[in-house]
Amino acid sequence: MQEPTCTGIRIRGYRDAEIILHAVRLDILPMIHRRLDDDDRIALRPGHVYVWEERSNNPLEHSSLDAIQRFTDGRSWGPSKAREDFLIYYEKEGTNTKTAMLHRNSGLG
């Protein structure tokens, strides 16, 4: 299971995100190297921050800011709302994807 880049964090603005990304660039904080698997997704908690670099296996494709995608964490999210320099997503109430994932992994679902 991958550990988050940092825990217990609430990113309140652009500068907070910039500091975390700079710390990853300096190898002060770790970058994760693969998408979250089912165990990683079940372990997600408020305050966990994951920093990764989206890369294509195709050498002809170049990454750009336009290629940034929302992380697939197995949870249900409402529509995005712009606030300052961020898109904010709120987890939908009444969806328990953690339980569904546990059932799927245990063969119960």
Q: Over the chain, what HEC string results?
A: CCCCCECCCCCCCHHHHHHHHHHHHCCCCCCCCCCCCHHHHHCCCCCCECCCCCCCCCCCCCCCHHHCCCCCCCCCECCCEEECCEEECCECCCCCHHHHHHHHHHCCC
Tokens found for residue 85: 């320099």
Name the residue among 2, 91, 109 with its Cα closest to residue 48: 2
Which tens digit of pLDDT belongs to each residue from 3-56? Answer: 999 999 998 888 999 999 999 999 999 999 887 888 888 888 889 998 887 665
Residue 108: predicted pLDDT:
46
Which tens digit of pLDDT belongs to each residue from 41-92? Answer: 888 888 999 888 766 555 555 544 444 455 566 677 788 888 877 777 777 8
Higher pLDDT, 34 or 104: 34
Tokens found for residue 54: 């989206």
- Check if the beta carbon of residue 47 is closer than 8 Å to that of residue 40: no
- Name the pTM for this structure: 0.61
